[in-house]
Amino acid sequence: MKKIINSLAFFLLGSAVGIGVYSHINISKPVTSFSVSTPEQKQKNNRTIEYCVKRFPTVASFEEIYNLKDYPDRSKHLLVLPHGGILGSLSSKSDLVELQEGDKITYYHTQTDPNSASMIQIEKAIETNNMS
């Protein structure tokens, strides 16, 4: 009888150690895996919009819109201008953006350089429409 109790105690102790080691190994791993964009990726993907927000803090409002019915294929990051224009990036993988003003849609291919022709065109469009 004493052997059975000792065997059972040894088995329970071994099980507890095994469970503890298994739990320690699995707790150090994430429960679920998911991808997170780094600040560098976010800045690269939405740099035109972020640049315009910094350049026009008083005339443009930055809105992050979820479940946007009218723009299912667009990025969730849109720059909504006071006159109703919307500047949105079309893809997180490209620098193509669109400036929508009523029925008029203008597409720009942006570059990192804020002095590039396309960035200057976007600035002029924003300034022109905000003055009217």
- pLDDT tens column, 75-100: 445 556 655 566 665 555 555 666 66
Whole-prediction pTM: 0.31
- pLDDT tens column, 12-61: 777 767 676 555 554 444 444 434 444 444 444 455 555 565 555 555 44
Is residue 110 very low, low, confident or very high in pLDDT (cuts 50, 70, 90)? Answer: low
Give 7 or 74, the one with higher predicted confidence.
7
Q: Quick one: CA torsion of 31, 34, 39, 40, rounded to 10 degrees? A: 130
